[in-house]
Structure 1
């Protein structure tokens, strides 16, 4: 199997894209550890065979993340780190206080920083590793009414590009996978909010949401997991500092 003998850690691995990524990497032979705040969701993923180990942790807490990563890597070093944990809040800029920007930065950027801080040193020491951030098309263009989220995701892409230069000769690659609207709980909650706020039908809300995607559909989590798998494999050794956009040709 492609990842036999490798240890992968996925944050936000209890559901949605994170769980799909964890399951994909495990099917390819990796030992997979998942991290997240929802212990029940993590347990369910492990019980279903989508991961091997779990740890409940707030990824924005640097000290807690360092402890969890040290424990998870005690028996097997971490070869692959997928920073998937994230969140989005909506609202016009003038109704988005600085605290909203701080929250979006903490979960989307600092959560990624904490994972990479805790896993990169060992990868560099061993001369091999894969750091992957789950970004977003919002890291490449603007979207109205989500300025805090867009700013944070742009920062994630900037981190990936900068860190790739620092690690270019270390055997570690640093990349992002940036999907458009995906078929996840987060998007479902967003649709619920639109329906509740505007009174439009859920079908119309979905149509409006995906109209920027030329394929006119949500991205399946499994499509994203396939891109992550590619970046984890030997064929991607010279691919670093990139953001693979999974967006149906949106741009």
Structure 2
């Protein structure tokens, strides 16, 4: 199961897992986007890819989507909590509605999705739960206090759950990309340009300056790390927050 699997990091992760032989279900809000992702993965790897349309801010929809997917394929061995939103605002303009909106998708949804699959993983003696956090889950950035708080929250959940299930054959990890070449970063560049009058090129240069390698992370780099964590020989890796950020944090 890959949430936010229709594009960007999620689509890359789903593609890599299918390439390793996994039966994949991509989840997200937009059927057309999911269908394009599923068709591309099927064409590349000759596997059938399922899709579930779900708004992860709605708990009832999460339960329905997972029930439907597992009804077709059986208990899930891998869950990738990838879906996320980033809505910038100064702290004093971050009202409760914005805070709750970000937490619903970035923190509460990973909790609820994990609850849907964890018992089956424990009963089967094998499972991989991987949540896509961010460098913002390990440090602070201005104007995204809610996003940072939510990403810190899923790292805390990951560490606690990893200890709780350590003897069950289930591992629980986070990956923490830096600025990645995705729609979220494209939107951030547009927002910076609109609010400051700077060019997108100048805004991009400022963003990649955080990465000592001076570039955006590519979705495939994140996907490769997730795919490694999903394999049996990564069974000793649990409770970790693995940075994929070109040395931005160490």
Deviation at 1:91, TM superposition (A): 1.3
Equivalent position of 1:66 in the other structure: 63
Q: Of 105, 108, 111, which aligns to 1:107?
A: 105
Please state whether the residue corresponding to 1:133 is helix, strand or coil.
Answer: strand
Please state whether the residue corresponding to 1:73 is helix, strand or coil.
Answer: helix
Equivalent position of 1:97 in the other structure: 95
Equivalent position of 1:167 in the other structure: 165
Runs of 4+ in structure 1 off by over 6 angstroms are none
Residue deviations 1:44-65 (CA, integer Å, cap 9, x gap): 1112125700010111222221
Calculate the TM-score normalised by the size of structure 2: 0.95
Equivalent position of 1:15 in the other structure: 7
Equivalent position of 1:197 in the other structure: 195
Q: Of 150, 153, 173, which aligns to 1:152?
A: 150
**Unmatched segments (≥5 aa) in structure 2:** 43-47
* Corresponding residue pairs, total: 243
Q: 1 CA distance for matches of 2:234 and 2:13?
A: 17
Residue deviations 1:207-246 (CA, integer Å, cap 9, x gap): 1011111011100000000000110012210111001100
Q: Of 28, 33, 36, which aligns to 2:28?
A: 36
Equivalent position of 2:50 in the other structure: 53
Equivalent position of 1:217 in the other structure: 215
1:177–1:224 Cα contact (<8 Å) kept: yes
Q: 2 CA distance for matches of 1:61 and 1:119?
A: 17
Calculate the TM-score normalised by the size of structure 1: 0.95
Q: 2 CA distance for matches of 1:53 and 1:42?
A: 9
Q: 1 CA distance for matches of 2:113 and 2:90?
A: 30
1:60–1:114 Cα contact (<8 Å) kept: no
Equivalent position of 1:3 in the other structure: none
2:57–2:101 Cα contact (<8 Å) kept: no
Equivalent position of 2:78 in the other structure: 80
CA RMSD of aligned residues (A): 1.0
Q: 1 CA distance for matches of 2:95 and 2:114?
A: 28
Q: 2 CA distance for matches of 1:127 and 1:234?
A: 12
Structure (1/2) with the larger helix percentage: 2
Residue deviations 1:184-220 (CA, integer Å, cap 9, x gap): 0111011011111111111110010111110111000
